[in-house]
Copies of this chain bind each other. A is one copy, B any other.
Amino acid sequence: MSLVVQKFGGTSVADADRIRAVADHVARTRRTGEDVVVVVSAMGKTTDELVRLAEDVSRVRPGRELDMLYTAGERISMALLCMALAERACPAASFTGSQAGIITDTLHTKARILEVKGDRLRAALAEGIVPVVAGFQGVSFTRDVTTLGRGGSDTTAVALAAALGAQRCEIYTDVSGVFSADPRVVPSARKVPKISFGEMLEIAATGGRVLALRSVEFARNHHVPLIVRSSFTWEPGTTITEEDSDMEQAVVSAITHDISQAKLTLTGVADRPGIAASLFRHLADKAVNVDMIVQNVSRSGTTDISITVPRDDLALSREVALSLKDELGADDVVADEDVATVSLVGAGMRTHPGVTATMFETLASENINIEMISTSPIRISCMVRAELAERAVQLLHRAFELDSPT
Give the residues in chain B near A54, CB-CB below 8 Å: 79-80, 83
Closest Cβ of chain B to A114, distance in Å, is 19
Interface string of A93-119 (1 = CB under 8 A from B): 110100100000000000000000000
C-alpha gap A394/B158 in the complex (Å): 67
A64 at the interface (CB under 8 A from B): yes
- The answer on a CB contact under 8 Å between B86 and A56 is no
Give the residues in chain B near A99, CB-CB below 8 Å: 143
Q: A70-78, A277-285, A336-344: which lies at the B interface?
A: A70-78
C-alpha gap A159/B64 in the complex (Å): 25
A53 at the interface (CB under 8 A from B): yes
C-alpha gap A78/B65 in the complex (Å): 8
- The answer on a CB contact under 8 Å between B53 and A80 is yes
Q: With A72-B72, A87-B58, A99-B143 in contact, do A66 and B53 touch (Cβ < 8 Å)?
A: no
A83, closest chain B residue (CB) = B58
C-alpha gap A130/B241 in the complex (Å): 50
A247 at the interface (CB under 8 A from B): no
Q: With A62-B82, A86-B62 in contact, do A19 and B75 touch (Cβ < 8 Å)?
A: no
- The answer on a CB contact under 8 Å between B57 and A20 is yes
C-alpha gap A100/B12 in the complex (Å): 34
> Of B56, B66, B75, which is within 8 A of A69 by CB?
B75
A60 at the interface (CB under 8 A from B): yes
C-alpha gap A73/B72 in the complex (Å): 7
C-alpha gap A59/B23 in the complex (Å): 13
- The answer on a CB contact under 8 Å between B86 and A75 is no
Closest Cβ of chain B to A142, distance in Å, is 10
Closest Cβ of chain B to A236, distance in Å, is 28
- The answer on a CB contact under 8 Å between A79 and B66 is yes
A16 at the interface (CB under 8 A from B): yes
A50 at the interface (CB under 8 A from B): yes
Q: How large is the interface on A (under 10, 10 to 19, 20 to 34, 35 or more residues)?
A: 35 or more
A28 at the interface (CB under 8 A from B): no
Give the residues in chain B near A71, CB-CB below 8 Å: 75
- The answer on a CB contact under 8 Å between A86 and B65 is yes
Give the residues in chain B near A143, CB-CB below 8 Å: 99, 120
- The answer on a CB contact under 8 Å between B69 and A76 is yes
Give the residues in chain B near A96, CB-CB below 8 Å: 68, 145
A150 at the interface (CB under 8 A from B): no
- The answer on a CB contact under 8 Å between A84 and B68 is no
- The answer on a CB contact under 8 Å between B69 and A84 is no
C-alpha gap A57/B20 in the complex (Å): 7
Which residues of A are in contact with B by a Cβ distance under 8 Å? 16, 19-20, 50, 53-54, 56-62, 64-66, 68-69, 71-73, 75-76, 78-80, 82-84, 86-87, 93-94, 96, 99, 120, 143, 145
Query: What are 27 A-B pairs with beta-carbon distances under 8 A?
Result: A20-B57, A20-B58, A50-B76, A53-B76, A54-B79, A54-B80, A57-B80, A57-B83, A58-B80, A58-B83, A58-B86, A58-B87, A59-B87, A60-B86, A60-B87, A62-B82, A64-B93, A64-B94, A65-B79, A65-B80, A66-B83, A68-B78, A68-B96, A69-B76, A69-B79, A72-B72, A72-B75
What 8 A-B pairs come out closest when comparing CB atoms?
A69-B79, A58-B83, A68-B79, A60-B87, A72-B72, A72-B75, A16-B56, A65-B82
